[in-house]
Structure 1
Amino acid sequence: MKKLKDAFSSLYTGDNVVKLTELRYIPRWTVLFLDLSIAFLSIFISYYFIEKLHVRVNFPEYIYIKIAIIITVNALFMFVYKTYAGIIRHSTFFDFFKIILCSGSTLSVLLVINFIFSLDVGKPLFLYPNLFLYFFISISIMFFFRMVIKQMFNILIDYKGSSKIRVAVVGVGDASVSLARAILHNPNYPYRLEGFLTKRSDSNKALLLGRKIYNIDKFFKDKNLVNQFDAVLIIKEIMSKQELVEWMTCALDNGLKVLKAPTLSKMRESDFVGGIRNLQIEDLLNRKPIRIENEEVKKRHSGKSVLVTGGAGSIGSEIVRQVAQFEPSVIVVVDQAESPLYELELDLLEKFPHQKFKFVLADISNSYRLEALFENYQFSMVYHAAAYKHVPLIEENPHEAIFVNFLGTRNVAMLSKKYKVNRFVMVSTDKAVNPTNVMGASKRTAELFVQSLQGSEGNTTKFITTRFGNVLGSNGSVIPHFKKQIEKGGPVTITHPDIIRYFMTIPEACELVLEAGTMGSGGEIYVFDMGEPVKILDLARRMIKLSGFTPDEDIKIKFIGLRPGEKLYEELLSNDATTVPTHHHKIMISKDPCLRFSEIEMLCKQIIKSAVKRDKLQVVSILKEIVPEFISNNSEFEVLDKKKIEVSDI
């Protein structure tokens, strides 16, 4: 009521447009009053027509009683069908249908009254043409009234929305129309619907929700037309990756922003505005996610004790979240990063209040600290995600890679064997394949050690390794790095114009880890179909455009050269490896060369001693002995490869 009062009072203040559009709905009693007024008007119009036709009405002396009967019956059915309950500016065919039911029911009752009255008196109370005229006139005026109010609100909203973002909704399907209608009918949204875009060429002259439908080819050829819009709005869920890239390219090349919206079925209307966001580069890199629905995964975790090392990291924390859904008896989360571990604890206790967690601040290179956990919790599943992963840092500090990536893995794996853990699953990387840096070589050494344990004496644990590429949005990955550089105004730094990488999502990576933990029989290295590689230069250009800037003009791209140990492309399989398919067409087993436990254990003791002494060259030299395919690239350790070649020549 206050809103209505404010709207009418604003007629005197000159701010009536804004106030009226802020009015959420006309009170129901007002709509009922207006409908009854329309009914009253319809009676007089019908009588006016009858009079002009020179037809005498029955019982003219009871005219006011007859009007009262019509209004009373009509009002009764207005309450029955609640014709006054709908929000007028959102009127649809359903509201029109209710009006027809209401007026039709009124007509039926009046016809019954007329029939009974004629049986008793000899002639009907109402003229039948009069009743049918009233029926059609009242329906028409009530519907016309609603359409006028609805159109008036649309005009006022458009007037108020002159400073809003002018959007073209992509598509003319049900989802797109629902999205457009939500924008059109809510004045609080910061968007103004200007039209629709489609690939179809048969809709050029058609209107949808009162807006034009433009063919994509003709639209982007007309610069004056393009300038009437600020952004295109897409629904990501109804598009393929190829369509998404195509629409994004067309929009960005013509200076338009690209916005994405969820389907209305996935979001409450009150949250809808917050659901519209700028298209992110992750949306374009996302392949169709692999959903692994395996009842065995749930059985392996439900009611079991689970350990996750590196649990505060990007991969580790997602593993913890996914495992928590299977209700294990306890999840022990180990990490040496204090603040991330504490933040994870707060998050998990809020999201999984009934799940038992144990958060342990520990270094996995300390076997005594770890053994207390194994002894206490008797783990059934161990997920080993703890590792150092930044190539340049590890190249400078190879001994630290030995302590964490190798010795830490050795400790967790040996304890898993000792305490007869059912399954040990290690998270590895594609950088372990034909490594050109210490980080990759240290992970390959860890892979070899874990594989060697499978056939070692007295072992009952299934040792499994998963190997995949870069993870979207993980800590320190390229996309968050580029975002920060763009926010600062550039430049965006790329090591080499031809560098390419594979990408996958964090949930997808963790689903692979969980699946591998259940499908493996021990000793396997699982590799993943990563899809098509992405050129990092193209990635940077797209991110700059999506941020509303022009590459090399607003934001510069700078090439800084390959970092120590970095290579142009990553591989998932070594040169002499073959693959074996699994029951899932996207997951394969890599048949890599293996070492016996006695062989690698002797070399491991040597490399650990060298790491303790901080002897960089000796550490890397032993790494190259363990991993013969390790050839350093753009690194100080290339000298070791030259010596190796000289010795072999002799």
Structure 2
Amino acid sequence: MSGFINRFIERFPAHWRQVAVFFADLVAVVLAWVLAYGMRFNGAVPPEFMRTGLSACVLILPIHAILFRSFGLYRGIWVFASLPDLVRIVRAVASSLLISVVACVFVGFLPPVPRTIFVLHPVFLLMWMGGSRAAYRLWKEHRRYGDLLARGQPVIILGAGRAGANLVAELSRSPAWRVVGLLDDDPNKIGREISGIKVYGRIDELIAWSFQLKAKHAIVAMPSMSRMARQRAASECLRAGVHAMTLPSIEDVVGGGVQAGQFRDIDLHDLIGRAPIDINTPEVGAMLTGRVVMVTGGGGSIGSELCRQIARFRPAQLVLLEVSEYALYRIHDELRERYPQIEVVPFAGDVRDGMWLEAVFRQYPPSIVFHAAAYKHVPLMEERNAWQAIRNNAFGTYKLAAICVAHRVERFVLVSTDKAVNPTNVMGASKRMAEMICQVMQQGTRSTRFEIVRFGNVIGSAGSVIPKFREQIARGGPVTVTHAEITRYFMSIPEAAQLVLQAAAMGHGGEVFVMDMGEPVRIADLARDLIRLSGFGEDQIRIVYTGLRPGEKLFEELLSDQEETRETHHPKLRVARAREVVPEWLDEVVAWMVQRGIPTDAEVRRDLRRWVPEYTPTTRPGLNVVARSHNENLPAA
């Protein structure tokens, strides 16, 4: 029977259905008026009052009709009738009541319409109009979704606020999910219900409630909470062994790319829990907008994200230098599609090629250069490629910096690494050497500002440990970790790129900027989190410890022993006072780098101790352990 009624209703076009609802409301006006009179006179209406009542009804009916249309009561869809629709009905009925009272007084009915009628009539009318719409919605939702209540996978929602309540309502219509409970840390909410779903307990009780409610899935619905609170909730999901999902945070929605109602699987960004970056947009915009900006290593992890962030500020030209043809093609194609109004100029080549750099600078003289091109894989550069690390990271920086000075480039920004602090490997020493080259270059020029920005590992960068872990998990394991206690600092690629831009805009020349990398993360814990995020347990995918690799530290540092820091106006950036370098050092080190022949790895490590005093090479490959605490030299808060 209900199916026949539904087909009968939906057979009519939408505008005919609106007309039908309109006339049904007018009938309700008459019925409510008659009912009000019947109740006022206990069912026995005197003839004189009956005549007055019928005349008054003829008068108020067009008033209600006009105002119902004016208030847009028929623009909404009944199946989605909600509180705003009820408010609209109340306003329309109240307005009709006031005008009806005035009209009846103006006409002067004898006997007059009893005042009780004007109290009872709107009450009955509201009950009919609001109740009929609510009943239709309940009937429609039961027909569509009622049979879903016993289906779908059971899921627990973490967070009983507005986002959690909206999610409960949304998932009640989903054939895939069935909400069985909510958890929240607010004691005032525990024991109460949202749309019939009970708030059982605190978030840290997820293990017990997921077992009791037989739920293997959980959704973190806390978009307005702090990032640390969301991180804790995400960690509880992994600890409970449930499939963890999350709603996007407020800052993610404001930043674009996601919608407020979407939920996704929890990833490492949620677990690391770093706060969002707030950059001084006008300051960075003044540096980049309408200027010619060059990015070396533009196809790499950091370089490509720098290009994306720079493009937002509408530079006059964005010049990309990249040795990898494929990486250059990918970022060039992406930027052309996303920012067609910006001229993106791709150049394939090596920053060590001075003649090529000269030709590029003559054709497209930049105002700002971001030097992100580097070899950065520690074990790969430590054995058999040590000299190439020096040639690319240090000599390439020298060639590029010299041409920037010759062409009076305004800013040169070197993207450095925390591995340049007390380096124990060739890669770190080569980056420290690049920093020292920039320090000396700054002493010899006032036309170019040299700025250095250090940071640690970025999540998902090419050659980082996380993609390797994911590949090992996809193969069924084991996941290889070098040491049970090894820790690293992590930040997201967009966060790193934004801080590089902020540091560049703040610099006056010669500064070494150090990023606030937060708390170090144990790589073994990171591996466990990735295994759980992939839906496995450690009994299914093992973690195997392989020993430290050549040149590898247990702990990374952000400042060397000889360095101190001072605060800047940005909370996530500090300025280090690096050890001074005498100008004669540069002449000697350049003569060493342009020597004929290729030295052995042992010779490179031997000579590096002369050029980089902070460098302490490993005594035996794979057994280097830094004894001092990794927190020893962090910037003071």
Q: Equivalent residue of 2:587, what SS?
A: helix
- C-alpha displacement at 1:5, in angstroms? 8.9
Tell whether 2:608 aligns with 1:620: no
In structure 2, do the counterparts of structure 1 residues 596 and 636 end up closer, same or farther at CA, with 3 Å as the change threshold?
Answer: same
The question of whether the paired residues in 2 share the 8 Å contact of 1:286 and 1:505 is answered with no
| Structure 2 unaligned spans of 5+ | 625-637
Tell whether 2:435 aligns with 1:431: no
1:508 maps to which of 464, 470, 495:
495
Structure 1 residue identity aligned to 2:82 = T
* Aligned residue number for residue 227 of structure 1: 213
* Aligned residue number for residue 382 of structure 2: 395
Q: Equivalent residue of 1:465, what SS?
A: strand
Tell whether 2:136 aligns with 1:149: yes
Question: Equivalents in 1 of 2:125, 2:471: separation in Å?
Answer: 63
Q: Equivalent residue of 1:288, what SS?
A: coil
Structure 2 residue identity aligned to 1:617 = A
Question: Equivalents in 2 of 1:7, 1:472: separation in Å?
Answer: 57
| Structure 1 unaligned spans of 5+ | 12-18, 640-650
In structure 2, do the counterparts of structure 1 residues 484 and 38 end up closer, same or farther at CA, with 3 Å as the change threshold?
Answer: farther
2:367 maps to which of 377, 380, 396:
380
- C-alpha displacement at 1:539, in angstroms? 1.4
Alignment of 1:101-180 (within 5 A): 101-119=91-109, 122-124=110-112, 129-130=116-117, 132-156=119-143, 157-160=145-148, 162-180=150-168
- C-alpha displacement at 1:470, in angstroms? 0.6
The question of whether the paired residues in 1 share the 8 Å contact of 2:411 and 2:448 is answered with yes
The question of whether the paired residues in 1 share the 8 Å contact of 2:37 and 2:45 is answered with no
Tell whether 2:15 aligns with 1:8: no
In structure 2, do the counterparts of structure 1 residues 161 and 540 end up closer, same or farther at CA, with 3 Å as the change threshold?
Answer: farther
Question: Equivalents in 1 of 2:553, 2:14: separation in Å?
Answer: 60
- C-alpha displacement at 1:127, in angstroms? 5.8
- C-alpha displacement at 1:329, in angstroms? 2.7
2:614 maps to which of 624, 629, 632:
629
Question: Equivalents in 1 of 2:335, 2:4: separation in Å?
Answer: 47
2:89 maps to which of 94, 99, 116:
99
- C-alpha displacement at 1:304, in angstroms? 2.6
Question: Equivalents in 1 of 2:429, 2:152: separation in Å?
Answer: 55
Structure 2 residue identity aligned to 1:434 = N
Tell whether 2:72 aligns with 1:82: yes
Deviates more, 1:305-314 or 1:619-628: 619-628
CA displacement, residues 190-248 of structure 1 (integer Å, 9 cap, x when unaligned): 54444432112233343333332232169547547742544332245422343223322
Tell whether 2:401 aligns with 1:416: no
CA displacement, residues 380-415 of structure 1 (integer Å, 9 cap, x when unaligned): 211111001111221231122122112211110111
* Aligned residue number for residue 476 of structure 1: 463
Give the structure-2-normalised TM-score. Answer: 0.86
Q: Equivalent residue of 1:58, what SS?
A: helix
Question: Equivalents in 1 of 2:261, 2:126: separation in Å?
Answer: 39
The question of whether the paired residues in 2 share the 8 Å contact of 1:564 and 1:634 is answered with no
Deviates more, 1:351-360 or 1:629-638: 629-638
Structure 2 residue identity aligned to 1:150 = R
Structure 2 residue identity aligned to 1:96 = L
The question of whether the paired residues in 1 share the 8 Å contact of 2:408 and 2:448 is answered with yes
Q: Equivalent residue of 1:561, what SS?
A: coil
Question: Equivalents in 2 of 1:212, 1:269: separation in Å?
Answer: 33
Question: Equivalents in 1 of 2:534, 2:77: separation in Å?
Answer: 38
Structure 1 residue identity aligned to 2:6 = F
Alignment of 1:74-473 (within 5 A): 74-119=64-109, 122-124=110-112, 129-130=116-117, 132-156=119-143, 157-160=145-148, 162-184=150-172, 187=173, 190-216=176-202, 220=206, 222-223=208-209, 226-235=212-221, 237-262=223-248, 266=253, 272=259, 275-293=262-280, 295-396=282-383, 397-456=385-444, 460-473=447-460
Q: Percent identity?
A: 34
Q: Equivalent residue of 2:416, what SS?
A: strand
Question: Equivalents in 1 of 2:289, 2:301: separation in Å?
Answer: 23
The question of whether the paired residues in 2 share the 8 Å contact of 1:305 and 1:329 is answered with yes
The question of whether the paired residues in 2 share the 8 Å contact of 1:179 and 1:264 is answered with no
- C-alpha displacement at 1:475, in angstroms? 1.7
Structure 2 residue identity aligned to 1:409 = T
Q: Equivalent residue of 1:169, what SS?
A: strand
Query: Hey, which of these two has a bigger chunk of helix by percent?
Result: 1
In structure 2, do the counterparts of structure 1 residues 586 and 275 end up closer, same or farther at CA, with 3 Å as the change threshold?
Answer: same
In structure 2, do the counterparts of structure 1 residues 477 and 31 end up closer, same or farther at CA, with 3 Å as the change threshold?
Answer: farther
- C-alpha displacement at 1:288, in angstroms? 1.4
- C-alpha displacement at 1:273, in angstroms? 8.2
Alignment of 1:583-622 (within 5 A): 583-609=569-595, 612-613=597-598, 615-622=600-607
* Aligned residue number for residue 544 of structure 2: 558
- C-alpha displacement at 1:599, in angstroms? 2.5
* Aligned residue number for residue 643 of structure 1: none
In structure 2, do the counterparts of structure 1 residues 491 and 155 end up closer, same or farther at CA, with 3 Å as the change threshold?
Answer: farther
2:554 maps to which of 560, 565, 568:
568
* Aligned residue number for residue 644 of structure 1: none
- C-alpha displacement at 1:349, in angstroms? 1.6
Structure 2 residue identity aligned to 1:321 = R
1:28 maps to which of 18, 31, 34:
18
Question: Equivalents in 2 of 1:580, 1:88: separation in Å?
Answer: 63
Alignment of 1:49-64 (within 5 A): 49=39, 52-58=42-48
The question of whether the paired residues in 1 share the 8 Å contact of 2:479 and 2:543 is answered with yes
* Aligned residue number for residue 488 of structure 1: 475
- Number of matched residues? 619
* Aligned residue number for residue 497 of structure 1: 484
CA displacement, residues 83-106 of structure 1 (integer Å, 9 cap, x when unaligned): 233333433333223222333344
The question of whether the paired residues in 2 share the 8 Å contact of 1:578 and 1:591 is answered with yes
- C-alpha displacement at 1:371, in angstroms? 0.9
Question: Equivalents in 2 of 1:475, 1:575: separation in Å?
Answer: 30
The question of whether the paired residues in 1 share the 8 Å contact of 2:191 and 2:201 is answered with no
Question: Equivalents in 1 of 2:219, 2:619: separation in Å?
Answer: 45
- C-alpha displacement at 1:150, in angstroms? 3.5
Structure 1 residue identity aligned to 2:64 = N
Question: Equivalents in 1 of 2:266, 2:174: separation in Å?
Answer: 22
The question of whether the paired residues in 2 share the 8 Å contact of 1:226 and 1:254 is answered with no
Superposed CA RMSD in Å reads 3.6
Structure 2 residue identity aligned to 1:78 = F
Q: Equivalent residue of 1:479, what SS?
A: helix
- C-alpha displacement at 1:270, in angstroms? 13
Question: Equivalents in 1 of 2:356, 2:37: separation in Å?
Answer: 97
In structure 2, do the counterparts of structure 1 residues 41 and 226 end up closer, same or farther at CA, with 3 Å as the change threshold?
Answer: farther
CA displacement, residues 72-122 of structure 1 (integer Å, 9 cap, x when unaligned): 443333212222333334333332232223333444444445445545xx4
Q: Equivalent residue of 2:270, what SS?
A: helix
Question: Equivalents in 2 of 1:73, 1:270: separation in Å?
Answer: 48
Question: Equivalents in 2 of 1:27, 1:554: separation in Å?
Answer: 59
Deviates more, 1:494-503 or 1:262-271: 262-271
The question of whether the paired residues in 2 share the 8 Å contact of 1:36 and 1:75 is answered with yes
- C-alpha displacement at 1:257, in angstroms? 2.6
CA displacement, residues 262-313 of structure 1 (integer Å, 9 cap, x when unaligned): 3689389997487310111112214213323164433333333222111111
CA displacement, residues 530-560 of structure 1 (integer Å, 9 cap, x when unaligned): 111011111121222233322x123222222
Q: Equivalent residue of 2:275, what SS?
A: coil
Question: Equivalents in 1 of 2:279, 2:7: separation in Å?
Answer: 61
- C-alpha displacement at 1:48, in angstroms? 5.1
Question: Equivalents in 1 of 2:256, 2:98: separation in Å?
Answer: 39
